[in-house]
């Protein structure tokens, strides 16, 4: 568990692990430079249970913290957990029972229930693939494994090199793709995790970056499947919206940038923050590439409604050029 400023929730999160029906585990908690009172809560909890190994460090970010936690772990399996979620009491017991019967699986997730900041149930999320075959079918664009519910083989994790800082904010998707090349992954049938949803979480605040990173991770996976070296292995940072055309040269293949825009565009249509932070520009190129115009028309209206006139104008101009090009053809 990596903790950074989770004071309102961290007591319940930690306690949900300490109350697991399977009790023989070490509990590594990385306090990643919290400044909101989480430190005092964690120290109090660590004093009550010898299974807790509390590591305190200056803020390094989630990827570095998780890689450090995996390096410290002594067990064959490492269970992930977030500081604002809760694991139901039988989570470890059920996942270990599945692993005992399926030793060829290196990642075992769980179905979840989404809750709001007050703990009220929003909806059940039981669509995570329940077999490796379902996982493979879902890999390109469907939910794969709920990251904080995952139990991961340490050997498999180390074999693929752990989390990659390059894929910050979508580090789990990149990890699942690479792990699928060396082991099997799926989730148990049971709902064993309470996943907290809020408007400030990473997938909301950084939607554009998450979507671009996931689309590039998929292209890198396809390249590896073709027996080629990972084109992103030497990158220091992923390209932003204005740099996506450079992907064709990086991958030494045509249409990679177009495919990335086609994957990202549908995910941006209802996110004003993503559209305002570069998403409108990406949609403009997506339409110019020949993408579906009808959803973009509705997005133009949405941008106008919220005063995003520049983005709306860019999209409208792009649509106009696309219509003129079609008419001329």
pLDDT along the chain (329 residues), means of 10: 96 98 98 97 98 98 97 97 97 98 97 90 84 95 94 98 95 98 97 86 76 97 96 94 96 96 92 85 88 85 83 79 63
CA dihedral angle for residue 240, residue 243, residue 244, residue 245, rounded to 10 degrees: 180
- Write down which residue in 175, 202, 229 finishes a domain: 202
Residues 174 and 279 in one domain: no
Distance separating alpha carbons of residues 131 and 303, to the nearest angstrom: 41
Instruction: Quote the pLDDT of residue 305.
Output: 85
Range of the domain at 143: 2-202
Residues 198 and 210 in one domain: no
- Write down which residue in 146, 178, 202 finishes a domain: 202
Instruction: Quote the pLDDT of residue 25.
Output: 98
Q: By the 8 A CB rule, do 284 and 243 touch?
A: no
Residues 216 and 180 in one domain: no
Q: Distance of CA 43 to CAs 39, 320, 325, Å? A: 6, 61, 65
Residues 94 and 10 in one domain: yes
Give per-residue pLDDT as tens, 112-121.
Answer: 999 988 888 8
CATH number at 58 reads: 3.90.550.10
SS (H, E, C) 165-200: HHHCCCHHHHHHHHHCCCCEEEEEEEEEEEEECCCC
Instruction: Quote the pLDDT of residue 326.
Output: 58
Instruction: Quote the pLDDT of residue 84.
Output: 94
Residues 97 and 57 in one domain: yes
Instruction: Quote the pLDDT of residue 204.
Output: 63
- Write down which residue in 186, 202, 218 finishes a domain: 202
Residues 19 and 144 in one domain: yes
Residues 59 and 95 in one domain: yes
All residues at 6 or more sequence positions from 111 whose CB lies less than 8 Å from its CB, including other chains: 124, 125, 126, 128, 146, 187, 188, 189, 190, 191, 192, 193
Residues 258 and 281 in one domain: yes
Instruction: Quote the pLDDT of residue 300.
Output: 86
Distance separating alpha carbons of residues 209 and 216, to the nearest angstrom: 11
Distance separating alpha carbons of residues 56 and 299, to the nearest angstrom: 45
Domain count, the chain: 2
Residues 166 and 311 in one domain: no
Distance separating alpha carbons of residues 204 and 17, to the nearest angstrom: 27
Residues 168 and 36 in one domain: yes
Residues 191 and 45 in one domain: yes
Q: Distance of CA 36 to CAs 41, 44, 139, Å? A: 10, 15, 37
């Amino acid at each position: 568990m990596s903790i950074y400023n989770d004071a309102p929730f961290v007591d319940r999160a930690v306690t949900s692990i300490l109350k697991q029906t399977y009790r023989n585990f070490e509990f590594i908690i990385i306090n990643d430079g919290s400044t909101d009172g989480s430190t005092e809560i964690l120290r109090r909890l660590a004093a009550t249970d010898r299974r807790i190994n509390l590591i305190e460090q200056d803020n390094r970010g989630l990827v570095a913290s998780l890689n450090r936690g995996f390096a410290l772990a002594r067990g064959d399996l490492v269970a992930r957990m977030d500081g604002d979620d809760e694991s139901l009491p039988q989570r470890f017991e059920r996942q270990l029972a599945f692993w005992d019967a399926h030793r060829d699986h290196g990642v075992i997730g769980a179905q979840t229930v989404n809750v709001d900041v007050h703990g009220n149930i929003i909806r059940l999320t039981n669509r995570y693939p329940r077999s490796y075959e379902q996982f493979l079918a879902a890999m390109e664009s469907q939910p794969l494994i709920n990251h904080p519910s995952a139990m991961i083989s340490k050997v498999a994790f180390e074999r693929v090199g752990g989390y990659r800082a390059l894929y910050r904010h979508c580090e789990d998707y990149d990890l699942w793709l690479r792990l699928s090349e060396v082991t099997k992954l799926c989730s148990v049938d049971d709902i064993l995790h309470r996943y907290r949803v809020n408007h400030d979480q990473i997938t909301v605040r950084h939607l554009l970056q998450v979507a671009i990173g996931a689309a590039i991770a998929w292209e890198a996976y396809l390249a590896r499947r073709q027996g080629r070296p990972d084109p992103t292995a030497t990158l220091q940072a992923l390209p932003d919206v204005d740099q996506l055309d450079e992907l064709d040269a990086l991958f030494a293949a045509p249409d990679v940038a177009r495919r990335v825009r086609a994957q990202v565009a549908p995910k941006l249509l209802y996110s004003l923050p993503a559209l305002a932070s570069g998403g409108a520009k990406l949609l403009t190129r997506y339409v110019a590439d020949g993408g579906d115009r009808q959803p973009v028309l509705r997005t133009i209206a949405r941008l106008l409604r919220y005063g995003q006139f520049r983005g709306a104008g860019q999209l409208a101009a792009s649509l106009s050029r696309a219509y003129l090009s079609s008419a001329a053809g």
